[in-house]
Amino acid sequence: MTRLKICLRLTRRLFRTLVGNDLFIKIDTAYPLLTIGNEGTAWTIVPDLVEKGGVAYTIGVGKDMTLDRVLAGKFEMDVHAFDPTPRSIDWVSTQTLGENLTFHPFGLADTDGCLNFEEPARSDHVSYSASNQSFRPTISLPVKRLSTIAQELGHSQIAILKMDIEGSEYGVIEDFRNHSLRPKQLLIEFHHRFSKFGATQTKKSINLLKELNYQIAHVSQCGEEILFVYGNY
């Protein structure tokens, strides 16, 4: 790794700490936890709350399906993975998904239809982000509300919902006011490092989830990935 890359990584971690975990995010309740994945793509769940045959939605595949495969394999869940972005779709097409794992080439948002997504700044990056401004080239991609997806797939309950959707999580969380779906475990990567959101927007979303009876069970070291558990178990 070059010195420049090391400096950039350290700077990013420092910024995440300043706007994330240390300022306002704390654990509400303690559970035995299981972390799945590698550094940079790790997700934490409460394994004792996972039931065989339960439904999991993993939104934002990118080029990593480690969580998806563990939930579908070890935990025998019915896993549905979603990503509307071309580079992710191309990558998934090269993968063997196996039993209990289905991929859908559309995304999650607070609306049904299409949204403009900014293309990644680098050709070796995979993450597109929803954009209202055209600083970089954009592409229109299909998205659906959580309630629409669940209705179309015939799911009345969702056991696990993972969201890594590059800033669109804020609108999706606000849309929770408009439907009764309450996934038992919410795994969310917040993007308060994006200047158009900031820590204030993440705090607002966390407060809304707490109003809806969610508790924080885990916060990643960088303060961006947060595990919420619904109700009291």
Residue 2: pLDDT over 60: no
Comparing 200 with 31, the larger pLDDT belongs to 31
In whole angstroms, give the CA distance from residue 128 to residue 84: 9
pLDDT in tens, 78-129: 999 999 999 999 999 999 998 999 999 999 999 999 998 877 665 555 555 6
pLDDT band at 195 (very low <50, low <70, confident <90, very high): low
Residue 10 has what pLDDT?
41
Residue 191 has what pLDDT?
73
Residue 129 has what pLDDT?
60
Which amino acid type is present at position 105?
Answer: P
Output the DSSP codes for 30-88: ----EEES-TTS-EEE-GGG--TT-EEEEE--TT--HHHHHHHHTS--EEEEE---HHH
Domains of the chain, start order: 3-110+144-230 (3.40.50.150)
Which secondary structure element, helix H or strand E, spans residue 171, and what is its range?
helix 169-174
Strands 214-219 and 160-163: unpaired
pLDDT in tens, 18-56: 444 444 678 998 999 999 997 678 999 999 999 999 999
In this prediction, residues 50-64 reach a mean pLDDT of: 96
How is residue 162 written in tokens? Answer: 């993972």
Mean pLDDT of the chain: 84
Residue 227 has what pLDDT?
97
Residue 45 has what pLDDT?
98
Residue 130 has what pLDDT?
63
Q: Look-up: residue for tokens 């990013």?
A: 12
The CA-atom distances, in angstroms, between 226 and each of 88, 121, 166, 209 are: 23, 26, 14, 12
pLDDT in tens, 203-213: 899 999 999 99
Comparing 21 with 179, the larger pLDDT belongs to 179
Dihedral sign, Cα of residue 21, residue 68, residue 205, residue 196: positive
